[in-house]
Amino acid sequence: MSVSRQPGIAHPRLPLPEGQPEDLAAFQQWLSDAIPMVKALGISEASRQGEALTWQLALAPNLNDKGTGFGGALAAQTTLLGWCWVTLWLRERGIARDVVVAEANQRFLAPVTGDYRLICVPAEPQGPAQLANKLAERGKGRIVLTQQLYCGETLCLEASGSYAVLPPR
């Protein structure tokens, strides 16, 4: 179901999975409706393994004038992947909250010359537990996540972001 988005109007939340594993395809469809630019990012597959959230992406929709990956698109993807990591982590725990990026940075290491994968994990192993504690104590919290972009076996981009979980409305 595609919904026309209007500035200043929040998109309806996706119902929580309620004890079921998250359907990543349904989440991806909701994400495409909620954030229209997602349709153009070339995400072909999303998967989760342990603490890692991974996207497989096509280079073609993200080309720059040189025929390699456009840095702005890659930066947007790393930021969005981190936002998805936190949102999915909350949903697993039955928590429907707003998540925002507080800070993000990228370091470009090599050109992206073909289809690629982005992997997002907590920057610190204790990060998720610390976030859970802050949410329980204060109703809000932050976590730092890292993202790595690989084209084949070549690490092309390293990024990190601080994501804030806002208090209930």
Chain segment 42-62, per-residue pLDDT in tens:
999 999 999 999 999 999 999
Region of residue 18 (phi > 0: left; psi between -120 and 50: alpha; otherwise: beta): left
Distances from the Cα of 62 to the Cαs of 21, 32, 42, 47, 73, in angstroms?
Answer: 31, 16, 8, 21, 6
Return the exposure string of 106-134: e unless at least 16 CB atoms fall within 10 Å of the residue's CB, then b.
beeeeebeeebbbbbbbeeeebbeebbee
pLDDT band (50, 70, 90) for residue 99 = very high
Does residue 155 surpass a pLDDT of 90?
yes
* DSSP 8-class letter at 115: -
Q: Could you report how far apart the first and last alpha carbons of the chain are, in Å?
A: 26
pLDDT at position 89: 97
Rounded Cα distance between 150 and 144, Å, is 20
Does residue 1 surpass a pLDDT of 50?
no
* Domains delineated in the chain: 41-165 (3.10.129.10)
Sign of the alpha-carbon torsion through 157, 158, 162, 165: positive
Residues of the chain with pLDDT > 90, as a percent, come to: 86
User: Taking residues 130-152, what's their average pLDDT?
Assistant: 97
Rounded Cα distance between 145 and 128, Å, is 10
Write down the pTM of the prediction: 0.94
